[in-house]
Chain A
Amino acid sequence: MTLLNSYFGKFGGMYVPQILMPALYQLEKTFVSSLKDYQFKQELSNLLKNYAGRPTPLTLCQNLTKGTNTRIYLKREDLLHGGAHKTNQVLGQALLAKKMKKKEIIAETGAGQHGVASALSCALLGLQCRVYMGIKDIKRQQQNVFRMKLMGAKVIPVTSGSGTLKDACNEALRDWSKNYVNAHYMLGTAAGPHPYPTIVKEFQSIIGKEAKKQILAKEHCLPHAIIACIGGGSNAIGIFSSFITDNSVKLIGVEPAGKGIHTKKHGAPLTHGDTGIFFGMKTKIMQTEEGQIQESWSISAGLDFPAVGPEHAWLDSIKRATYVSVTDHEAIHAFQCLSQSEGIIPALECSHALAYALKLMKNDPNKHQVLIVNISGRGDKDIKTVKNFLKNSE
């Protein structure tokens, strides 16, 4: 029996080989006790403030919105230590690992941001770290691979399947099923088997808590919409979490439409997938008619995943959140716009969210609206990808 509800409506659960169940129960028990543990909370809070650099600012776009009545605010997770929101939750999980007396950390990564965050938290807290990464992602994110190695992590190339995040996730689970006694699997997003979606949401909810306080201070009202990109969905659930009960606030998740939904080269399981069981959870996934998992596609390695966290599938099913998709091309355009107009280079992941905010603004320039876009990471890692994309588009 789990201590917490393992489902969000009909989504969630623990679909893993039996051998991993005790490890999941142990993690859940440690998590639940830690939430009541003053010392644990103080330690995490101290790390977030004095190591990671929280709170992150809420920045008003001064130039991007000129000539319209839209006010776009950016929640600046790109300014967090490590360069992305991933640091929030790995610090929490690393402390849980220490509490469980685990010496090793297993992680998977797509764009490398979770790998970097895992590596830095392990270096800080004296844990051994190995990171599974698809060969395709290793090629497109070499800068992050180097950062991980520099901080002492071992990066293990995954050659199976499509050589992307999906296959890295499978390999991490295989490793964990052998080494769970000494190793903690530091899952990188609000997905996978229970209790991960709940744990990751809890540790990422700091984004929403800060954003709510900051927007009330700046605008004296709640925003009209919160917009965040969706791969597994951790930055989105983190910022959504404080606004879920505020029905006036639209929650908008943006999936990658890749080369276009019609090309089938996309990573949009919520809007164009169906319910299935994959990576330890029942959720919306991209699959064939026979239930084989399909390969996803996105120019952003961090969004290149054929499934989504179960709470998003539930929020979609009850129509509390709206999920849309934007193409690689639209995301690149948003990437350039923000760089040129505000001097902020966003990660390709959150460029998807920004692209949708720009659409809302352009569709009705006269509408008075306050939008918050979660800039979940910085774009340094994507420079080469964008350069190649633009070169090929010429």
Chain B
Amino acid sequence: MNRYQKLYKTLIPFKHGCFIPFVILGDPSINTSLKIIDILIESGADGLELGIPFSDPLADGKIIQNANLRAFSSGISIYKCFKMLHDIRKKHKTIPIGLLSYANLIFKFGIKDFYLKCSNMDIDSILIADLPIEESYSFRKYAKICHISPVFICPPDAEQNIIKKIAKYSTGYIYLLSRSGVTGIDNEIIVPPLYLINKLKKITNVPIIQGFGISNTKQIKQIILSGISGIICGSIIIQLIEQYYHDEEKLIQKIKNLSLSLKKATKIIA
């Protein structure tokens, strides 16, 4: 049983949703980034989604683009990311850690070497933002060999054959998109169509986690009520980093408060 499966097993009896924060490794600096990750875990994160900074993150909106730039300014590199992941895993042995990357970083590193390295770091899943299921074969092959769960994105308007493939190959969780477009902060309720959620549930037991635009507790409650297993929040957390990175103490407190409230919202079904 992998860490995701273990996690869901602990949440299901309490009918709790899963809260997965997303941050960029090295934003705003390596040390502060490690502290942010610690506080997220202490404040209720059930899993982590960590982004490896990329120069051209075309699936991301301005907030996450800027986070990538701050990470580069702090001198991050792929090897420093691995060092950070090593430290995080050493400290937090049971939490599922997923990576978000872009195809070229993995391709350049060597697909096989990248997955092996991640396996050595006890990484649980890898999501590649610009890799549709149609181009994923060689990445999936090494993910399987290295016992890392591939995660694929399911758009809200996905066609039948794609839904089936995503359900088949996405083994850690299915990343269900709230909406089209890029990452960002939305205020309206964004629950994908019910038929899609039901369709996915019919053909797979893999949990469905929703991401893109989620920024408040009202949205989270609605999403969990619709039968989705959990949520990923990135931009709303990263916006705090953008606002308060000059004042680390305040930043950590702000992230703690936000994280506690977002996690609390996933517990609506008592």
The answer to whether A17 and B129 touch (CB under 8 A), given A177-B181, A178-B180, is yes
Q: Is B155 touching A18 in the complex (CB atoms < 8 A)?
A: yes
Residues of the B chain whose Cβ atoms lie less than 8 Å from the Cβ of A13: 135
A294 to chain B, nearest CB (A): 8
Interface centre among A21, A279, A282, A285 (most CB of B within 10 A): A21
User: Is B78 a contact of A290 with CB atoms below 8 Å?
Assistant: yes
Given contacts A178-B181, A178-B182, A291-B109, contact A14 B58 (CB under 8 A): no
**Which of B31-39, B42-50, B100-108, B197-205 touches A?**
B100-108
Is B248 among interface residues, defined by CB-CB distance under 8 A? no
Offer 30 A-B interface pairs, CB within 8 angstroms, sorted by A.
Answer: A16-B130, A17-B58, A17-B130, A17-B132, A17-B153, A18-B154, A18-B158, A19-B180, A21-B132, A21-B134, A22-B159, A160-B65, A166-B56, A170-B58, A174-B61, A177-B180, A177-B181, A177-B182, A178-B181, A179-B180, A180-B180, A277-B107, A278-B104, A287-B104, A290-B105, A290-B108, A290-B109, A291-B108, A291-B109, A292-B105
B residues near A, CB below 8 A?
54-56, 58-59, 61-62, 65, 77-78, 102-109, 129-135, 152-155, 157-159, 162, 166, 177, 180-182
Q: Are A14 and B132 in contact (CB under 8 A)?
A: yes
Known: A13-B135, A276-B104. Is A19-B177 also a contact (CB below 8 A)? yes
Cβ-defined partner of A291 (8 Å) among B107, B152, B154, B157: B107
Residue in A19, A22, A276 whose beta carbon sits within 8 Å of that of B107 in the complex: A276
**Structural contact, A293 and B55, CB atoms closer than 8 A:** yes
**B-binding residues in A (CB < 8 A):** 13-22, 160-161, 166, 170, 173-174, 177-181, 276-280, 282, 285, 287, 289-293
Residues of A within 8 A of B55 (CB): 161, 292-293
Shortest beta-carbon contacts, A-B, top 5: A291-B108, A178-B181, A292-B55, A19-B155, A277-B103
Cα(A160)–Cα(B182), bound, Å: 15
In the docked arrangement, what's the CA distance between A285 and B229, Å?
40
Which of A18, A166, A174 makes the CB contact (< 8 A) with B132?
Answer: A18
Asked if B162 and A21 sit within 8 Å, CB to CB, the answer is yes
> Quick check: A292 and B129 within 8 Å, CB to CB?
no
- Minimum C-beta distance from A210 to chain B (A): 36
Q: Which residues of B contact A174 (CB under 8 A)?
A: 58-59, 61, 181-182
Residue of A nearest to B179 (CB): A178
Query: Chain A: which residue is nearest B62 at the CB level?
Result: A160
Q: Which of A180, A181, A291 is most buried by chain B, counting CB atoms within 10 A of its CB?
A: A291
Bound CA span A19–B166, Å: 13
Closest B residue, CB atoms, query A171: B58
| CA distance in complex: A166, B135 (Å) | 23
**Do A280 and B130 touch (CB < 8 A)?**
yes
- Whether the pair A291, B104 counts as a contact (CB closer than 8 A) is yes
* Given A160-B65, A174-B58: A277 in contact with B134 (beta carbons within 8 A): no
A14 to B68, CA, bound (A): 24
